[in-house]
Copies of this chain bind each other. A is one copy, B any other.
Amino acid sequence: MPESSGPEDGVGGSGAPEDPAYRAALLDLLGAIAYGEISAFERMADDSRLAPTLEDKVALATMASTEFGKVARLHQRIRDLGGDPFAAMAPFRSPIDDFHAHTAPRDWFEGLVKAYVGDGLVDDFYREIAATLDPETRELILSSMQEGPHAAFVVARARAGIEADPRLGGRLALWSRRLMAEALTQAQRVAAERESLTAFLVGGAAGVPAWDLVEIGRMFGRLNDRHAERMRRLGLQP
């Protein structure tokens, strides 16, 4: 049962999981988010070794575990839709792995900034897409994206480091811009490869209002604004 979300939010309405094109797009989206969480878990668990103190290590490991804790519900939703979680994740392994391979932090601060800025950016993107989905999937995705108390820790730690060493601020600002650029590169690759997902977003599945180019442009503007806001919170020049 399609349900219009009204024109005021700018993007399309919600789809019906019975529609095969919508269902294919949903499985793609849930698979991408789930593999992204698994991958974020691995990278943060790994980056937590760079931690200068055990307190820092525990804080980053807590973030890693929080990400991972979201996977089970995403997998369950994929199964509820008749999909297989591992098949749904498979197409996204290589773009997401490549994102991480191209943005491997060289030190603790780069790892911190990546955990905050990188995850924030990805979460914003999924939040934008979630607005176009059926209510059940939307709620699941939005609840997966909630910023935990760890964000305050990261901001405080990074700001303290940047205030103590102004050159670090310059380097981390470049690093933040690189995270954005690499995320866009991999997102474009996914858009080119995953027709069901892209068709849903830009072409509209049957009965689902689609984003037009103007709306897509606006979305990128919003993502950029929020990215800049996160950089400012860290004490970085956007």
Contact = CB atoms under 8 A, between A and B. Distances in A.
Interface residues of A, number: 24
Interface stretch (A21-29, A52-60, A124-132, A211-219): A52-60
Given A61-B38, A61-B68, A65-B68, A86 B55 contact: yes
A45 B55 contact: no
Interface string A77-120: 00000000010011001000000000000000000000000000
A62 interface: yes
A61 B41 contact: yes
A36 to B, nearest CB: 13
A137 to B, nearest CB: 21
Contacts of A90: 54
A90 B38 CA distance: 30
Nearest to A93: B54
Count this chain's copies in the assembly. Answer: 2
Contacts of A58: 38, 71
A64 interface: yes
A78 to B, nearest CB: 13
Contacts of A57: 38
Contacts of A62: 68, 72
Nearest to A35: B54
A189 to B, nearest CB: 20
Nearest to A45: B45
Contact of A42 (B38, B45, B68, B71): B45
A86 B53 CA distance: 10
Given A38-B58, A71-B58, A93-B54, A64 B45 contact: yes
Contact of A65 (B69, B89, B93): B69
A46 interface: yes
A49 interface: yes
Nearest to A53: B86
A83 to B, nearest CB: 15
Interface in A10-58: 38, 41-42, 45-46, 48-49, 53-55, 57-58
Nearest to A57: B38
